[in-house]
Structures are given as C-alpha cells and as structure tokens.
C-alpha cells in the first residue's frame, strides 16, 4: 500500500501541490469572503432546504440554474449542516475537481507536462476560478462538466462523454451551447440528447415558456421586442466586441463576482492567451492538428453563444458568469502561449541545452508567481472593498446578535435593506438565525397601536440605525427601553432596542 502511494506521489506530485494551493485559496477566509448572504444564496438555500424536506425537483427552478448544484449542496449538508458556508464549500469542492480534470484534459490534448502544469496552475490561481469557487452558485459546475465531457471525448470514451454532456445540461444555462461542439460526433450528441429529454419536456410543459419574454432565455433573446434585423446585428456586434475586450481592457461591471469593470484576465495571462490562440490556429492549419480546433478553438467560440445572444441587454455585456464556460480553453491556450513563447525566445538566444532548460524553468516560474500574486491580490484585497459596505455583512451581524439572546426573547425586525445594495435581506436573516429564535418582520412606520401590541418585556427590536422614527414610537408605548448601535468596520449596522 505504501509503495502504491509513493508511486502516486512521484508521478503526480505537481498536481497534488497545485490541488493544495487550490484548497488553500478555496478555504482561506471562506466564511468571511464573501460574508453577506444575498438573493442568489437565499434562493439556493431554499431549494436545498426543500430537497432536504422531500420536495425533489429535476428542472430549472430559477431559469438559469439547474438542479445538480442543489443536490450536491444537500449531500454536503448531510455532513456539515445546511448554511451559507455549506453553499460556498460545495463550490470549492467543484473547483478542486475542476483543477483535477483540467490537469488530465490538458495532458491528453498536448502530451507535454510543462503545458499541463501551467494550465492546472492557472486553473487554481486565476481570479476567474477563485471568485466562482467561493460563490454560493451553480456556475462553477459549467467548466467542470465541459472539461469532463471533453476529456472523455479525447480519450474516445463515447458513452461517458455523452452522459457527461447530457448531465451538463442540468448544471447551468451557460453550458447550453456545449452540444454544438459535437456536431461531428453524433454518438456523443445522441447520448447527450437522450439524457436531456426530461429537461426539454420541463421547458415545454413548465409554467413559464422557454422562449416567452418572462423566461430566463427568452427575455435575453427579446422575443417580444420586435427588433429590426439591423438592431439585432448591432446588439450582437456589441456583445462580440464586449466579450473580446473583456479579457484585456474592460470586464464585467458586477461587484458580486468581479472587481467592477476590471478585465477577466490579468495582463500577463491575457497577452499569452492571445499569443497562444494565434499559435494554435497557425499550428492547426499548417500541421493539420485538428484536435486543437475541435477541442480548444471552436469550443472557445461556441460556448460563448449564450452570452452573445443576450440581445435584450447588450449593455450588460460582458458577463463573467455567462462566459465562465470558456475558462478551460482560456487556461489551456494561455499555458500553450506562455510555454511556446519562452521556448522560442530562449532557444533563439541560447544554444546550450542545459542552460536552456534552467532558464526556461526560471522564466516560467517567475511569470507564474507574478500571475498568482496579481490574481490573489485582486481577489483577497481589492475585491472585498467593492462588496456592499466593504464586505460588512449586516444580516450576519444582526443574526449573531439575535442568537446571543436567550431563545425565549422575541425578536422584531423593522424593515430591511438600509445598507448598500439592499442589505440586510429578511430571508438571509431567517436562513442564518438559530431556528429556536422567533422573529417577526414588520414594515417601517408601523402605526403606534400595532407596534405597541407586539412589544412585551421579553422583546428586542432591530431597526435602521439612522432612522429614529420607530424608536421614538416605541418610547411612547409605556415600556422601559434601552438602545445601542451595532457597529462593524466603521459602519452602523443596526439599532437594537431592548424592551424591559
């Protein structure tokens, strides 16, 4: 047994080191970054909670996200319990599996360890991976299932590739262009279609039509807006341009998953990605290496179709989430560009083979360290600043305060959304508070007679810290009250009034 483990380590020690790096980046401060529970998280929490109570589903409940992520969360929750942390931890596990599959996929396509190591390392440290690895969201499943499907296809495991393709359709809408990649491999496509039949039925007979203006996909296609051909062409052109420049100049403006407007790749990765793309295209044409076209170049273009088809919202492009399916191809192409460029430069200037090897290793390691430092700094230092109230989780601070009181104390929360971007959310408080605590939510400026009826000697009231109207009303209810302000990171989170 020990010999087996030694052999495994000696053959794959680089992969194990990269996985350890990924594990650290995935788990470091995971409970506190991102710290606030918002709409997407509460929606997935509710779905998982429903499944835990026996309400199973196998379709797209919220338009863009399929059921697989929910069932993975439920599985993890069997060991850790259901919480905001569990949602994020599930994504970390998916991210680690993605790194593992990327290692083997790159190795199968290029058959060069240097490129395999670089692509795997980029998969672990790139901001694009890390930010989604720590999100309570299904999107990290998209690159994973793309990589798995392609790995089986490259290895000529037709049945497994087809099954992966079909299951991938149940992950997230960003995967939906994947069948286009297998237009020549009809067996894989056929198996995938068979597995997708229940999903198609759910779209046809679901409450919201697949192509209606209210559906996830139909709304983006603007099916009822009656755009002219020139308007459609203009919006498509705008989307293509936005996606192209997202790698190097201007990226997604959304603060939840990106530093607003920052490129999706760091400068070094972007440069070597474009170099690698051109080199792979040239090599494919000159040497008839069709595997690069079939498994990297065309998939990179095809997988962006869902994001490009957002005709209704061209101003929302680029979207780092809808583009997430490209990252396996981006990392492999960047790795190829980086490796090929430095081999060419060093071989042209130095003839000693031993010196070439040493210098190549030093240059590659230096660049990878620079890339890792830039991406880690972007996520752990810059990114939190742009989260609501600089990543100060109002809902968690409020629930921690409520949990600190005895369970017989009744909690009243007046209003919500007084922080940045609508935090705290009522559902987030419900999901995170200990279940033995009883909470009542009421609207601000509730009439005095109704508010006074809710107050007794075992009550705390949580209110907007900057609005004292409700606090003044409580003072007229013939109750003894004391108030204090919850503060964190120089922000006033909430006012807590104790009824004595």
For residue 113, which of 27, 186, 11, 219 has the smallest C-alpha distance? Answer: 11
213-to-203, 218, 233 alpha-carbon distances in Å:
14, 5, 20
Sheet (strand 481-488) strand order: 439-442, 410-414, 459-463, 491-499, 481-488
More confident residue, 130 or 11: 130
8 Å CB contact between 42 and 63: no
Mean pLDDT computed over 415-439: 93
The CATH topology of domain 389-499 is Cobalt-precorrin-4 Transmethylase; domain 1 (3.40.1010)
Buried b (16+ CB within 10 A) or exposed e, 161-196: bbbbbbbbbbbbbbbbbbbebbeebeebbebbbebb
Domain with CATH 3.40.1010 in the chain: 389-499
Mean pLDDT computed over 91-102: 98
Which tokens go with 217?
């996909």
What pLDDT does 416 receive?
A: 94
- Percent of the chain at pLDDT > 90 equals 71
| pLDDT digits 0-9 by tens, 161-187 | 999 999 999 999 999 999 999 988 999
What pLDDT does 211 receive?
A: 52
Mean pLDDT computed over 381-392: 97
Lowest mean pLDDT among 29-43, 54-68, 110-124, 256-270: 54-68
Contacts of 17 (CB under 8 A, 6+ apart): none
| pLDDT digits 0-9 by tens, 130-157 | 999 999 999 999 999 999 999 999 999 9
Mean pLDDT computed over 311-319: 81
Is the pLDDT at 467 greater than 80, yes or no?
Answer: yes
420-to-85, 164, 394 alpha-carbon distances in Å:
22, 41, 10
Q: What is the mean pLDDT of the chain?
A: 90
What pLDDT does 212 receive?
A: 53
Is the pLDDT at 206 greater than 60, yes or no?
Answer: yes
Burial of residue 24 (CB within 10 Å: 0-12, 13-18, 19+) is exposed
Mean pLDDT computed over 367-380: 98
Lowest mean pLDDT among 139-153, 246-260, 345-359: 345-359
Contacts of 45 (CB under 8 A, 6+ apart): 37, 82, 84, 87, 136, 431
Mean pLDDT computed over 97-122: 97
What pLDDT does 440 receive?
A: 92
What pLDDT does 250 receive?
A: 95
Q: Mean pLDDT: which of 10-19, 155-164, 192-201, 210-219 is highest? A: 155-164
More confident residue, 487 or 8: 487
| pLDDT digits 0-9 by tens, 390-423 | 999 999 999 999 999 999 999 999 999 999 999 9
3-state secondary structure of 401: helix
Is the pLDDT at 300 greater than 50, yes or no?
Answer: yes
8 Å CB contact between 276 and 338: yes
What pLDDT does 339 receive?
A: 95
Residues 281 and 456: their CA atoms lie apart, in Å, by 74
What pLDDT does 3 receive?
A: 52
Alpha helices by DSSP H, 255-326: 267-287, 290-292, 298-302, 305-308
For residue 382, which of 261, 489, 259 has the smallest C-alpha distance? Answer: 259
More confident residue, 491 or 6: 491
For residue 199, which of 63, 58, 305 has the smallest C-alpha distance? Answer: 58
Which tokens go with 448?
């005095």
């Amino acid at each position: 047994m020990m010999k087996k483990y030694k052999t495994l380590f000696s053959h794959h020690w680089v992969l194990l080191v990269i996985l350890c790096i990924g594990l650290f980046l995935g788990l470091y401060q995971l409970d506190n970054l991102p710290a606030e529970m918002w709409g997407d998280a509460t929606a997935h929490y509710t779905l998982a909670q429903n499944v835990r109570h026996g309400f199973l589903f196998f379709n797209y409940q919220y338009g863009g996200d399929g059921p697989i992520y929910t069932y993975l969360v439920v599985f993890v929750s069997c060991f850790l319990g259901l919480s905001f942390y569990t949602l994020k931890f599930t994504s970390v596990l998916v991210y680690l599996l993605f790194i593992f599959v990327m290692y083997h996929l790159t190795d199968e396509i290029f058959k060069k360890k240097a490129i395999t190591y670089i692509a795997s390392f980029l998969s672990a440290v790139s901001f694009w991976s890390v930010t989604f690895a720590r999100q309570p969201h299904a999107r990290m499943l998209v690159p994973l299932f793309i990589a798995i499907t392609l790995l089986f296809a490259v290895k000529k495991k037709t049945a497994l590739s087809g099954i992966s393709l079909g299951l991938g359709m149940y992950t997230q809408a960003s995967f939906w262009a994947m069948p286009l990649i297998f237009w020549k491999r009809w067996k894989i496509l056929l198996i995938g279609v068979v597995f997708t039949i229940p999903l198609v039925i759910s779209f046809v007979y679901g409450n919201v039509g697949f192509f209606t203006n209210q559906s996830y996909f139909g709304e983006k296609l603007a099916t009822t807006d009656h755009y002219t051909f020139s308007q459609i062409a203009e919006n498509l052109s705008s989307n293509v341009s936005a996606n192209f420049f997202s790698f190097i100049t201007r990226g997604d403006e959304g603060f939840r998953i990106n530093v607003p407007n920052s490129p999706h790749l760091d400068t070094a990765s972007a440069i070597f990605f474009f170099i690698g793309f051109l080199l792979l295209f040239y090599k494919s044409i000159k040497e008839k290496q069709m595997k690069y076209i079939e498994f990297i170049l065309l998939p990179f273009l095809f997988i962006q179709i869902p994001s490009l088809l957002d005709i209704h919202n061209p101003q929302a492009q680029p979207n780092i989430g809808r583009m997430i399916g490209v990252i396996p191809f981006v990392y492999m192409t960047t790795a190829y560009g980086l490796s090929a460029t430095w081999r060419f430069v060093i071989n042209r200037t130095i003839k000693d083979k031993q010196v070439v090897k040493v210098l190549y290793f030093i240059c590659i390691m230096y660049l990878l360290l620079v890339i890792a430092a830039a991406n880690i700094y972007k996520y752990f230092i810059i990114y939190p600043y742009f989260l609501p109230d600089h990543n100060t989780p109002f809902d968690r601070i409020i629930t921690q305060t409520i949990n600190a009181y005895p369970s017989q104390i009744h909690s009243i929360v007046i209003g919500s959304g007084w922080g940045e971007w609508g935090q705290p959310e009522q559902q987030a408080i419900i999901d995170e508070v200990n279940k033995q605590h009883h909470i009542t939510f009421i609207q601000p400026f509730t009439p005095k007679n109704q508010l006074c009826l809710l107050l007794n000697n075992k009550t705390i009231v949580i209110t907007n810290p900057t609005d004292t109207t409700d606090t003044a009303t409580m003072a007229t209810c013939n109750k003894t009250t004391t108030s204090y302000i919850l503060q964190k990171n120089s922000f006033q989170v909430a006012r807590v009034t104790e009824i004595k």
